[in-house]
Chains A and B, each alone.
Chain A
């Protein structure tokens, strides 16, 4: 497992030099809410097949960053390209097309309360992919539930699920559209260490199964250690450090160091 990880890391770094392999490129991104300047100068690239972890304390703008990437928030300055296309300049239909390739796991799971798990999962299939064949839809739903290990929950309501289960179902709902890029907003926060580890492992398994590139936002070190090929540390609207888990562990910077204590 460890060996595999290092090999993948190497590939990711090698790939970095090649422009064709870059799926997300963010340069000098800035974003304010009225007087509150949240993002000051964000620069990042995500390469094909890479797992990029963004570490940062609460309220540093991690969620804002990935919400800009999917076009849920407008950014003020800078450039943000997904598959080479500037998000801000896209028309509604073009944005929709890009979003089809992006999966977003919300911090809260964001399951549709009024629908069963089955309906939650078939919603994107019927609405986005316009699938009509019921048996095919059911097949897909069952497959993806199997992938996140929650086949039994299929007819439950979201209200009856635990936090960890909701995250998994949320994950299943994004995976069902087979995105090329996954954006995870704190996939393990609020879960016990064992469940956290399972989710982190699941992220790795899913990358293997669906060949996704991912940005994983977290302040959970264990998760960062398992999932991250490369780690960025966000502090006050800027990235202050970059490297593998091992590199950062040895960092002298007080702000980085405080995470690893």
Chain B
């Protein structure tokens, strides 16, 4: 019993150490010259282009459902006109960033994990290393930065689409003009809603890229480790998003509402 706990703790510490090391090497390579602009843009394109449909549908349904669910209750209180504001605040502050990040973790972290994992298994990463080309700079730095950059953008798009979903939902019940709806939605939003909502997606994006790359880059030999890399990338990226969100909520409460 004691032995298993000991070896478990030891393994955990080893993993943490590995991740810290990986992070430091990311920073070192980031500061080095020879940034791979082409690969970075290609990754941005892949991430944005491949995830957009999924994120658009999710965003739309988010706003749509939220509206349909809350409308009857608020109507009972004669507060139906608060629906746009309620939807926009809850989507922009919390639901949008978290849901989109979790979906991206499933889509992007897993694909990065699998891609780098299979490159590792087929010795492509070793081949880069041996030829003195820099696999961290080419593969890792570009992917992490692309995620850090694209996830906030995708979230903002999803937020906007979600407001539109809310508009459609409201219209099923009662005709509202687009102008009026968005007016109400934006009036309810304060800078202190938007800003923390966007900032935390930057961290979510980083976590998705970093965890995906870490698990792919450190996968073992053998083909089954590719699946394993993809799987653990999704699991730990999702976990990290939840944890970061908890921290972000605390920080916003301290700084924005005091």
On A, residues with C-beta under 8 Å from B are 67, 70, 72, 96-97, 99-100, 102, 104, 106-108, 110-113, 123-124, 127-128, 130, 170, 173-174, 177
B133 — which chain A residues lie within 8 A by C-beta?
123-124, 127-128
Q: Are A108 and B122 in contact (CB under 8 A)?
A: yes
Known contacts A124-B131, A130-B34, then 14 further A-B pairs from the complex at CB < 8 Å, ordered by chain A residue: A70-B130, A99-B130, A99-B131, A106-B126, A106-B127, A108-B123, A110-B122, A110-B123, A111-B124, A112-B128, A113-B118, A113-B119, A113-B124, A170-B127
Instruction: Mark contacts of B115-141 with chain A using CB atoms, 8 A cut-off: 1 yes-contact digit, 0 otherwise.
Output: 000110011101111111110001000
Interface of B is mostly: helix
Residue on A with the closest CB to B134? A127
Contacts of A113 in B (CB 8 A): 118-119, 122, 124
A72 to B132, Cβ gap below 8 A?
no
The complex places the Cα of A113 from the Cα of B114 at a distance, in Å, of 13
Q: How far is the CA of A26 from the CA of B124 in the complex (A)?
A: 26
A-chain residues with CB within 8 Å of residue B131 when the two chains form the complex: 99, 104, 124, 128, 173-174, 177
Q: Is the CB of A128 within 8 A of B124?
A: no
Query: Count the B residues whose beta carbon is within 8 Å of the partner chain — how many?
Result: 16
Q: How far is the CA of A174 from the CA of B134 in the complex (A)?
A: 15
**Chain B residues with Cβ under 8 A from A127's Cβ?**
34, 133-134, 138
Residues of B within 8 A of A124 (CB): 131-133
Chain A residues within an 8 Å CB radius of B132: 96-97, 99-100, 124, 128
Residues 197-225 of chain B: 1 if any A CB is under 8 Å from the residue's CB, otherwise 0?
00000000000000000000000000000
A72 to B131 CA separation, bound complex (whole angstroms):
11
CA distance A104 to B130 in the complex (A): 7
CB <8 Å contact, A110 and B126: yes
Q: Is the beta-carbon distance between B122 and A72 smaller than 8 angstroms? A: no
Which residue, B118, B124, B128, B138, has most C-beta atoms of chain A within 10 A?
Answer: B124
CB neighbours (8 Å) of B122 from chain A are 108, 110, 113
Residues of B14-42 whose CB lies within 8 A of A: 34
Residues on B with C-beta less than 8 A from A123 are: 133
A57 shortest CB reach to chain B, Å: 19
7 inter-chain pairs at a CB distance below 8 angstroms, sorted by A residue, are A70-B130, A72-B130, A99-B132, A110-B122, A110-B123, A112-B127, A128-B132
Interface string of B152-177 (1 = CB under 8 A from A): 00000000000000000000000000
Whether B124 and A112, one on each chain, are in contact in the complex, defined by CB atoms closer than 8 angstroms, is yes
A96 vs B123: C-alpha distance in the bound complex, in angstroms? 18
Bound complex: CA of A102 vs CA of B138, how far in Å? 21
Q: How far is the CB of B229 from chain A (nearest CB, A)?
A: 16
CA of A130 to CA of B133, assembled, Å: 10
Q: Hey, which chain A residues are within 8 Å of B118, CB to CB? A: 113
Distance in Å: Cβ of A130 to nearest Cβ of chain B: 8
Contacts of B123 in A (CB 8 A): 106-108, 110
Instruction: Choose from A102, A107, A112 the contact partner of B130 (Cβ within 8 Å).
Output: A102
Of all A-B residue pairs in the complex, the 7 with the closest CB atoms, nearest first, are A110-B127, A127-B133, A110-B123, A104-B130, A96-B132, A99-B132, A106-B123
**Distance between A111 CB and nearest chain B CB, rounded to angstroms:** 7
A227 to chain B, nearest CB (A): 21
Closest chain B residue to A93, Cβ basis: B132
